[in-house]
Amino acid sequence: MSKKNNVISAIKSSWKDLQKSLTEFSYDKLAQQDSSFSNQVLNTLYEISLKEISVINNISSENMSNKKPLKIKSNKENIRVSFRNSLISLSETHDTLIKMLTSQEENIFTNNSPKRLIIDQGTFYNYLQAKKDISELSENIS
């Protein structure tokens, strides 16, 4: 397996781990929380997307500067829609990121490549931090 395939496979695995951690937040559980809690969850999703878009902009020749992640604020009445829209936006951004990485040359995936650092910061470390944040938030669910 090539270095590129290894990196992309590891990103996908890390992404799945992050998705599993999001299962702690059912619509019903979120609806029982106050708006500030829900907005912390939504802000975490926003930050993940923001970093993925940064990777796309730094690595790809196609700039996504016009693409911004959804910055959604929620109140108790619209948490279901807000959470769903945030997840859809995040999923679309992630799919774009994976497609872009798949189309890149093998050399950007070498360990000492400056672009590899950008990829790692916007994916692995981004997902690890988000997973940590989500775990902390899920501990606060009543």
pLDDT, one tens digit per residue, over 89-129 is 899 999 999 999 999 999 999 988 999 999 999 999 999 99
- Regarding pTM above 0.85, the answer is yes
C-beta separation of 15 from 94 below 8 A: yes
Q: Residue 62 has what DSSP assignment?
A: S
Please give the structure tokens belonging to residue 35.
């708006």
Say if residue 142's pLDDT is above 60.
Answer: no
Average pLDDT value for the chain: 86
Q: Higher model confidence: residue 142 or residue 123?
A: 123
C-alpha distances (whole Å) from 28 to each of 6, 23, 51 are: 38, 12, 28
